[in-house]
Amino acid sequence: MKIQRLTYLSLGSNQGEKLKNLQKAIYEIAETVGAIQKISSIYKTSSWGYEGEDFYNISISVSTYLQPESLLEELLTIESKLGRERNNLHEYTDRKIDIDILLFDDEIIFSRKITIPHPKMLERKFVLVPLVEIAKNTSHPIEKKQLYACLNNCKDTSSIEKISSKLIRPIPLTEKYNYIAVEGNIGAGKTSLASLMSDEFNARVVLERFADNPFLPKFYEDKERFAFPLEMSFLADRYQQLSDDLAQFDLFKNFIVSDYYIFKSLIFAQVTLQKEEYALYRKMFDIMYKEISKPDLYIYLYQNTDRLLENIKKRGREYEQNIEASYLQKIHDGYHNFIKTEQHLNTLVIDVSELDFVNSHEDYKQILKKINLHTSSITT
């Protein structure tokens, strides 16, 4: 299990639209570093060590799975992306954005690349004042004093002014959702995405037990004969699994992510069953559906048919190799109608036809960005 750590960062800007620079940095940190727990007020201070424009300074606390040196590399990338230009003279200069690591849990690190705690943090009010606002009782790991006491002992006499403007804290997935369902056609990548998200966010993953269904290989050999027992067994198993897993609260996991939702049963049944069989099946489904917890977020991965067939062939399940494009299109049409008519679900459709999020971390980050943007849009 990955261990989440708490780090405190100092952010400053004295070039261009300073508030926007800070907000952009916050969004980038939330996207690539971890969940932002707290943001201090904004403090205006004179430039330090040279004549320049006033700075806007803040402190933030971030939960992250990154190690300190990886964290530093990510923050340098964010600075560069937002227009920070560094010189090799180590002189104080104007900057669009400046991000420093102040504390990383209670660790003490002296290496060629990084020093933690930040060696100058106790000398500067523009660092300590916003930091104390969000971490008053946190102890400095070297001084063995709480930060408010460190601020009282600070000899910096420069003026510092709190301004009224506020910055937005991005709401992380771990706070917004208790249960996320990832759906898609056969071969869309729903199991892969659910597993990646489970690892990324320390979520409990619920994966469909399709391999245990004895009717599945027989169905692909003789659809008409084995469609009804297949769909009934899938419905019973999905109902049992979701009922059990969603009822169990895990103190050590942030939320639940599954690679299916029980409505999948109805979508496939509409395609595979005869009219009389479907009528009986629907009665059973409606009884079960009332009892199942609904996901807080329903993600549908759209994948074009050619890519689906390619993925199915690549993963090599023998009983899937004769699946036809027309069958996949019927499944997609079923999902499309479900999404269009099911108004009570918080649904996000993501087109992954041009993405390889299993092998490309950048593509995976694109998907997370879409999820985060969707989360922000329904929050505001």
Q: Pseudo-torsion of CA 265, 267, 273, 276, nearest 10°?
A: 90
Write out the DSSP string of 25-66.
HHHHHHHHTEEEEEEPPPEEE--SSSS-PPEEEEEEEEEE-S
DSSP 8: E
To the nearest 10 degrees (0 to 180), the angle between helices 275-289 and 263-272 is 180
Supply 370's token pair: 């879409």
231: left (phi over 0), alpha (psi -120 to 50) or beta: alpha
Q: Pseudo-torsion of CA 356, 361, 367, 368, nearest 10°?
A: 160
Evaluate the omega torsion of the peptide bond into residue 117 and state whether it is cis, within 30 degrees of 0.
yes
Residue with tokens 């999820």: 371
Distance between CA atoms of 188 and 325, rounded to whole angstroms?
13
- From residue 297, how far is each of 69, 176, 180 by CA, in Å? 34, 9, 5
Distance between CA atoms of 294 and 226, rounded to whole angstroms?
29
| Degrees, nearest 5: CA angle 195-201-206 | 40
What residues does 347 pair with on adjacent strands?
298
Among residues 105, 156, 222, 259, which one is catalytic?
A: 259
Structural contact between residues 10 and 79, judged by C-beta atoms closer than 8 angstroms: no
- How do beta strands 160-162 and 43-45 pair? antiparallel
| Dihedral sign of CA atoms 132, 136, 142, 143 in order | positive
Structural contact between residues 59 and 101, judged by C-beta atoms closer than 8 angstroms: no
Distance between CA atoms of 338 and 179, rounded to whole angstroms?
19
Q: Does residue 250 carry a catalytic annotation? A: no
Provide the annotated active-site residues.
Answer: 259
